[in-house]
C-alpha cells in the first residue's frame, strides 16, 4: 500500500512538472467528469509538496488559468451551472497567488518574474472573459462581469508592485554605490560669497611747492600721503 502511494505521488509530481513546462494552458478535468475530484486532489498534493513560495505562487496562477479554460469548456457544452463555481475557484487561486508573492517578498526573494506573469495572465483573462460575455445568457453575465473586474484589479496590483520593485532596486543600488547616489542627487548650491569693497591702496603724490617759495625750498621735495589718487 505504501509503495502504491509513493508511486502515485511520484506520478503526480511528474505530471505537474510536465504541465507547468507547457507554454499554453489547457482545461483540466471539468466538474462534469468523474475524475474531477482526483484532479483537484492532485493539485492539492502538488501545492503541499512545494515549499518555495514563489514556485507555489506560480502553481496557484497556473490553476487559476486552468479554471478559466474549464469555464470556457463548459460554456461551449452549454453546461452553464458550472460557470459560477469555476470562476469563483479561479478568483480564489488568484488571491492565493498574491498571498504567496507577499510571503516570498517578505523573505527577501525577487518576485519581479512572477509579478510579470500575473500581469500577463490577468490581461489575458480580461480578453477571454470579455469574449465570453457574448456567448452566455443574461443569467451568467454577472459572474463573468465580476470576474473581469477582479482581473482588472489584479492586473493593477501587479503593475503597482512591479513599479515598486523597480524603485526599491534603484534605491538599493544607489545606497551601495555612493558615487551613483551623488550623481543622481541634486547638487547643493551654496550661498554666494559676499563681496566686500576692497580698500584703495594709498597713493603717494608729490607736492610741488608754489613758485614764490621755490627759492626757499629749492632742492627739497615735499611728499604728501593722500587717500585718493589725483
| 3-class DSSP assignment, residue 188 | coil
Four-residue CA torsion sign, 105, 107, 109, 113: negative
Q: Determine if the pTM surpasses 0.75.
A: no
For Cα atoms 122, 124, 130, give the angle at the middle one, nearest 5 degrees: 100
Could you give the CA distance from residue 122 to residue 50 in angstroms, rounded to a whole number? Answer: 23
Cell of 187: 547638487
| β 222-226/203-207 pair status | antiparallel
Reading the chain (230 residues) residue by residue, the pLDDT tens digits are 565 555 555 555 555 454 444 445 566 678 888 888 888 999 999 999 999 999 999 999 999 999 999 999 999 999 999 999 999 999 999 999 999 999 999 999 999 999 999 999 999 999 999 999 988 999 899 999 999 999 999 999 999 999 988 777 777 666 656 565 555 555 544 555 555 555 555 555 555 555 544 444 455 545 555 555 55
Residue 111 φ then ψ, to 5°: -110, 10
Amino acid at each position: 500500500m505504501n509503495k502504491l502511494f509513493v508511486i502515485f505521488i511520484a506520478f503526480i509530481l511528474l505530471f505537474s512538472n510536465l504541465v507547468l513546462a507547457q507554454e499554453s494552458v489547457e482545461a483540466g478535468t471539468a466538474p462534469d467528469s468523474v475524475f474531477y475530484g482526483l484532479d483537484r486532489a492532485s493539485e492539492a498534493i502538488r501545492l503541499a509538496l512545494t515549499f518555495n513560495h514563489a514556485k507555489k505562487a506560480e502553481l496557484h496562477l497556473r490553476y487559476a488559468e486552468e479554471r478559466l479554460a474549464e469555464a470556457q469548456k463548459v460554456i461551449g457544452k452549454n453546461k452553464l451551472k458550472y460557470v459560477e463555481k469555476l470562476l469563483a475557484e479561479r478568483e480564489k487561486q488568484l488571491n492565493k497567488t498574491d498571498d504567496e508573492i507577499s510571503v516570498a517578498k517578505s523573505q527577501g526573494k525577487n518576485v519581479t518574474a512572477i509579478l510579470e506573469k500575473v500581469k500577463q495572465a490577468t490581461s489575458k483573462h480580461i480578453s477571454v472573459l470579455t469574449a465570453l460575455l457574448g456567448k452566455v445568457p443574461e443569467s451568467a453575465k454577472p459572474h463573468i462581469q465580476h470576474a473581469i473586474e477582479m482581473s482588472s484589479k489584479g492586473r493593477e496590483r501587479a503593475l503597482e508592485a512591479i513599479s515598486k520593485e523597480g524603485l526599491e532596486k534603484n534605491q538599493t543600488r544607489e545606497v551601495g554605490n555612493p558615487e551613483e547616489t551623488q550623481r543622481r542627487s541634486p547638487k547643493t548650491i551654496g550661498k554666494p560669497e559676499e563681496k566686500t569693497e576692497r580698500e584703495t591702496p594709498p597713493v603717494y603724490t608729490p607736492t610741488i611747492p608754489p613758485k614764490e617759495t621755490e627759492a626757499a625750498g629749492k632742492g627739497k621735495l615735499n611728499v604728501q600721503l593722500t587717500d585718493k589718487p589725483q
